[in-house]
Chains A and B, each alone.
Chain A
Amino acid sequence: NAGVTQTPKFQVLKTGQSMTLQCAQDMNHEYMSWYRQDPGMGLRLIHYSVGAGITDQGEVPNGYNVSRSTTEDFPLRLLSAAPSQTSVYFCASSPGLAGGHGELFFGEGSRLTVL
């Protein structure tokens, strides 16, 4: 029972490079989301999706891009990495369409450092 799987677990980038953080869930959840966690700032929502083909912005979407072509996958793309994007990124999913109303399941996190 894998749940929410994130890859890679660790990544170091140089400023200006691009990369994709992968997220996959095997629970057939419609709702998926990306958060970043920073010391003193807590968890902040980047983007979310309520189903395949539907995405929307969260609190801190700038510099990030998402797509949702399947129910299972929700990749997060960093277009041109900046040191301010150094953070721990979490993918989370929830049953039903109202992600704020259901139990949220998190992945183990992806730790990104931008030099």
Chain B
Amino acid sequence: KQEVTQIPAALSVPEGENLVLNCSFTDSAIYNLQWFRQDPGKGLTSLLLIQSSQREQTSGRLNASLDKSSGRSTLYIAASQPGDSATYLCAVPRGSEKLVFGKGMKLTVNP
């Protein structure tokens, strides 16, 4: 059974820091991995989708890496800003029709 873990559950940092968010999964036979952002009271927004054949995916100040063999993905946020404050979730497919989500990491970037 696929399980996805995100540790820590919350992180508070000063503005400007470079951040690494962690995601681990138990079954390495994944098709891809997605990172999402959720603002309070809002839905999830897809940030990055990494295919199993890729090792990295970049969008602006965000960079996500995937290491299937170790069951890990990291989301790197460069030069963090208060606007980056949100909950970040990762998810992997279970079969072809479903996603398994981590419980998320709440990030607070203080000005």
Q: Answer whether residue B93 sits at the interface, using C-beta atoms and an 8 A cutoff.
A: yes
Binds A, one of B17-25, B59-67, B74-82, B97-105: B97-105
The 8 A CB mask of B17-49 against A (1 = contact, 0 = none) is 000000000000001101010000111111001
Instruction: Give chain B's interface residue range (CB within 8 Å of chain A).
Output: 20 to 34
The 8 A CB mask of A69-108 against B (1 = contact, 0 = none) is 0000000000000000000001010000111111111111
Q: Answer whether residue A43 sits at the interface, using C-beta atoms and an 8 A cutoff.
A: yes
Q: Once the chains bind, are B46 and A105 in contact (CB under 8 Å)?
A: yes
The complex places the Cα of A43 from the Cα of B103 at a distance, in Å, of 8
Residues of chain B lying within 8 A (CB to CB) of residue A92: 44
With beta carbons under 8 angstroms apart, the residue of B31, B46, B103, B104 that contacts A100 is B31
Give the Cβ gap from A11 to chain B, nearest Cβ, in Å: 15
